[in-house]
Structures are given as structure tokens and as C-alpha cells.
Amino acid sequence: MMKLPILISVPHAGLEIPSEVRAYNLLTQKEIIDDGDEGASEIYAVESYVQAYVTTDVARAYVDMNRSENDRTRDGVVKTHTCRDVPIYVRPLPADLIDVMIKKYYRPYHEKLTSFSSGVKFGIDCHTMADIGPPVSPDPGQKRPLVCLSNADGTFPVDWLKIMKDCFQQSFQVGISLNQPFKGGNIIRTHAPEMPWVQVEISRTNDLDNKQKHKKFLDAIKQFHSIIMGAEPDK
């Protein structure tokens, strides 16, 4: 099977607490899961189908790969509170410990994305989203679409985005949202100068199970590739 010339990024599937902050941690396992992209490891299990694949075991609550390295806010690269507004640590982390976390976990993730950019055609940053917007979000309390595609006002060609929307609509058999509620995070913005990047958010709604979401996602990206590259999708 010929692999698709795509780089897949799955930054929020991890559930591990970094050893450096275990002594500071307040979160339960459930709170860690609630802050991350539950289901992402199953939905986006497409490593055998694409040329490059990057993920991390570290939970989003501790190091958020989709934030700027310089974002030191409560919802920044090393957070103080989860997206449910739950405090993460017993006390503020020392600045030097935050620097260690960034050097050990954050930078290597982004270095991998850069290193894999040669030899592939585009990147997809893959996420799952809560069915209803959580307290710390662009749309608290709002019902969300099944799929949101984002290009941060330019990280992915507009004509490609429209084609991808059509492919996802055909696969999922629902309307697809563009740049709403998410316009695209730090990963696609940072790495767009290297190649085109798009962000995909699939709802954690129970209307479909993760196996169904996985198949529909894979079918959509295969179809998209076949259209833009002039090749038949691999069955």
C-alpha cells in the first residue's frame, strides 16, 4: 500500500503526567481525560496510511503543544487551569521548571513537525472537541458541529479547504463547519511557512462511535488526496 504524502499531528491524545510535576499535581485521571482530546488516539490511528505521524504521551493539561511557547497564561503552554477551569497544581510552578517542561516536551514535538515537512504535501493537525463548548473555550455552552475544519485565515489554500469540506461532508453525511468555533491553533500557524496545514476537529458526540469516526476521517482524507493529486483513493 502506498502511503499518503501527509503529515498527521495528534497533539492532545496523551494522558501521562510528566514526572517533573507529579509532586505538584492536583488532577484526577478523569480531569486529565476531560481536558484532553478523548478518542483522538483511536479516531486518528492512521499511522500506517500516511508518510509521517507525530503524537505525544504527555497530557494537554501539563504541556499544550498547540500553544505558543511564550504563552504563559492560565490556558497557555504550561497551564494553571484546565478547560473546565479546574486548578492543575497545588501551587504555581517555578519558572525554571516551566522552562524544563518546554525544552523536554514542547520543543521536540515541534522539531519533529519541522523535520517531517520535507517529503510530504501538507499537514493535518487532528483534534477532538467537546460536544458542548466548555467554560474555557471560544463558545462556552454552545452546541458544536460534528466536524470543524480550520485554516487560520491562510495556513491552507482556500480552494483546498473547500474541496476538503466537500470530502468530509460526503464521508460524514453532515454539514461541515469552517473556522467555527475554532479558527486554527498554534501548530498550523507556526508550521504553515513550511507547507500547507489544516486543523481538523471532530466532535466527541456519541452519535457515532470512534471506529465510525476513524473510518469516515480516513475515507475523507483519502478522497481529498485523490482529488488534489489526481490519483484514485486507496481502497
Mind listing the pLDDT tens digit for each residue in 38-82? 999 999 999 999 999 999 999 999 999 999 999 999 999 999 999
Domains of the chain: total: 1
CATH number at residue 114: 3.40.630.40
Chain mean pLDDT for the chain: 96
Question: Residue 229 has what pLDDT?
Answer: 86
Residue at 29 is within a domain: yes
Range of the domain at 85: 4-229
Residue at 235 is within a domain: no
The answer on pLDDT for 233 being more than 70 is no
Q: Which three cell numbers stand for residue 198?
A: 489544516
Closest CA to 53 of 126, 105, 148, 155: 126
- Does residue 181 have a cis peptide bond before it, meaning omega lies within 30 degrees of 0? yes
The answer on pLDDT for 235 being more than 60 is no
Closest CA to 172 of 226, 221, 121: 221
Residue at 148 is within a domain: yes
Residue 231 pLDDT grade (very low, low, confident, very high; cuts 50, 70, 90): low
Residue range 107-145, pLDDT digits in tens:
999 999 999 999 899 999 999 999 999 888 889 999 999
pTM of the model: 0.95
Helix spans in the chain (H) = 29-35, 40-43, 95-101, 107-116, 158-172, 186-191, 210-229
Residue at 191 is within a domain: yes
Residue at 118 is within a domain: yes
CB atoms within 10 A of CB 12: 25
Q: What is the identity of the amino acid at 145?
A: P
Residue at 157 is within a domain: yes
Ramachandran bin of 230, using left for φ above 0, alpha for ψ from -120 to 50, beta for the remaining angles: left
Residue at 234 is within a domain: no
